[in-house]
Amino acid sequence: MAKHIGILTSGGDCPGLNAAIRGVCKAGIGNFDMQFLGFKNGFNGLCHDRHVKIDGDMLSGILTDGGTILGTSRDKPHRMPIGGKMRDMTDAIVDTYERNHLDVLLCLGGGGTQKNALHLKKAGLNVATLPKTIDNDVAETDITFGYDTALNTATEAIDKVHSTATSHSRVIVVEIMGHRAGWLALESGLAGGADVILLPEIPYDPESVAESIRNRGKAGKHFSIIAVAEGAMTKEQSVTINQLVAEKEAADSKKKKEAISQELTAFHRDHVNHTQDLTRTLEKLTGCESRLTILGHIQRGGTPSPTDRALATKLGAICAQYLADGGNGDMLAVKGSEIVPVPLEKVAGNKKLVPLDHPLIKAARLVGTGFGDC
Ligand code: F6P
């Protein structure tokens, strides 16, 4: 009997989603007698039962397309915007699953999606996931698709600002995506020869960044490129955040925890402009004209790189085999050259941050790149 697989893409989009959809559906339809229902706009489409039957025509020509043919959203099953209110729609999702006689629901997404998938697993659904995000911060996998393309985009941008920074003898601060994890800023900064790299994992002192710029000036280099992850923080900000996190953990009531969560959310919301502040501060501290370039969503767009197309296809196709063998409850992770199932319980709620002794950090320090921490 044919297996019925529901498939959706959730969270921020990234290059390679279409390649993964194509990989799993082509392999499943062609080899394992599977039928795929694509749910629109992530968990929202699952809640409202908005779906399309995926056939060969839909899969044709999408390997090289960015974005996702299914659409995406950041909606969560247990906090869905309905009629102006946030409602727990888990039961509606279970109904959709049963109404369509699904055998498994496959969710393509980043950290948030892994948590949502685990929530649905606990609600009794057969769920599996594939790891995607340009941030490369999903736990338990070496790499996520989308990252390589974004790395190419960010590196090319850093390469390009070099000539204008040199011509004008300016400091150019380049803001790179990566809210809690600095993989993209670190690797593109290293590849693009940034002079200072600022990561969420390494709190910085603006004076130390200024010192690196001044030292370059003394050495006859009158321009500097500062690659900053959007979630990078000063040492002071990091103390505030760590205190709030500790207070939240120690809080003895749900009300207190909720209040601290709101403070944390407000902090992160207000932190959005920090690269603007940093740019002004560096101009003041160094006397060197400074400009800010925010790469933004350009990093999530465009055609996937060959590496991402191949990775997403491999994950998708091997996932079809896994589902055909009766697998569920796992994220399919990349470990070396292998694709292995990892239980969602081990993935959800964890983040893969840059370890402070990572070889990329060591290498950057050895070639004189600053991290604003000394
Ligand atoms: O998908 C990951 C990511 O691109 C992060 O790097 C960034 O912080 C966030 O999404 C931006 O989200 P949105 O597109 O919802 O503004």
Tens digits of residue pLDDT in 169-217: 999 999 999 989 999 999 999 999 999 999 999 999 999 999 999 999 9
Q: What does the pLDDT look like over 27-53, one tens digit per residue?
A: 999 999 999 999 999 999 999 999 999
Label residue 131 left, alpha or beta by phi (over 0 means left) and psi (-120 to 50 means alpha): beta
pLDDT of residue 11: 98
With a 6 Å cutoff on the Cβ, whether 132 touches ligand 1 is: no
For residues 338-357, give the mean pLDDT: 98
Which of 68, 75, 134 is the best mutation target for the ligand 1 pocket, counting ligand atoms within 8 Å of the beta carbon and taking the most? Answer: 134
The percentage of residues in the chain with a pLDDT greater than 90, rounded to a whole number, is 97
Q: How much distance in Å is there from the Cα of 113 to the middle of ligand 1?
A: 13
pLDDT band, very low/low/confident/very high, at 1 (cuts 50, 70, 90): confident
Q: Report H helices in 221-290.
A: 235-250, 254-270, 274-286
Which residue's CA is the nearest one to ligand 1's atom 8? 179
Whole-number Å distance between alpha carbons of 347 and 342 = 7
Q: How much distance in Å is there from the Cα of 137 to the middle of ligand 1?
A: 12
With a 6 Å cutoff on the Cβ, whether 50 touches ligand 1 is: no
Q: Which atom of ligand 1 lies at the shortest distance from residue 231's CA?
A: 8
3-state secondary structure at position 15: coil
Which of 108, 113, 177 is the best mutation target for the ligand 1 pocket, counting ligand atoms within 8 Å of the beta carbon and taking the most? Answer: 177
Domain positions in the chain: 4-145+304-347, 149-300
User: What is 298-310 written as a DSSP string?
Assistant: GGG-SPPPHHHHH
Q: Which atom of ligand 1 lies at the shortest distance from residue 300's CA?
A: 4
3-state secondary structure at position 223: coil
Which helix (H) or strand (E) segment holds residue 227: the answer is strand 224-229
Q: What's the mean pLDDT when you consider all of the chain?
A: 97
Tokens of 101: 């006689």
pLDDT band, very low/low/confident/very high, at 6 (cuts 50, 70, 90): very high
Class of domain 4-145+304-347: alpha beta
Catalytic residue among 75, 135, 137, 195: 135
Whole-structure pTM value:
0.96
Question: 272 pLDDT exceeds 90?
Answer: no
For residues 337-356, give the mean pLDDT: 98
Q: What does the pLDDT look like over 229-265, one tens digit per residue?
A: 999 999 999 999 999 999 999 999 999 999 999 999 9
Q: Report H helices in 65-182.
A: 90-99, 111-122, 147-168
Whole-number Å distance between alpha carbons of 176 and 155 = 10
Domain 149-300 sits in which CATH superfamily? Answer: Phosphofructokinase domain (3.40.50.460)
With a 6 Å cutoff on the Cβ, whether 229 touches ligand 1 is: no
pLDDT of residue 179: 87
> Please, what's the b/e burial string for 342-358 (b: 16 or more CB within 10 A of its CB; e: otherwise)?
bebeebbeeebbbeeee
Nearest CA-CA partner of 183 in 237, 134, 253 = 134
Q: How much distance in Å is there from the Cα of 151 to the middle of ligand 1?
A: 15
Determine whether 135 is an active site residue: yes
Which residue's CA is the nearest one to ligand 1's atom 11? 12
Are 105 and 46 a contacting pair, CB within 8 Å? Answer: yes
With a 6 Å cutoff on the Cβ, whether 137 touches ligand 1 is: no
Same fold, 4-145+304-347 and 149-300: yes
Q: Report H helices in 48-126.
A: 56-59, 90-99, 111-122
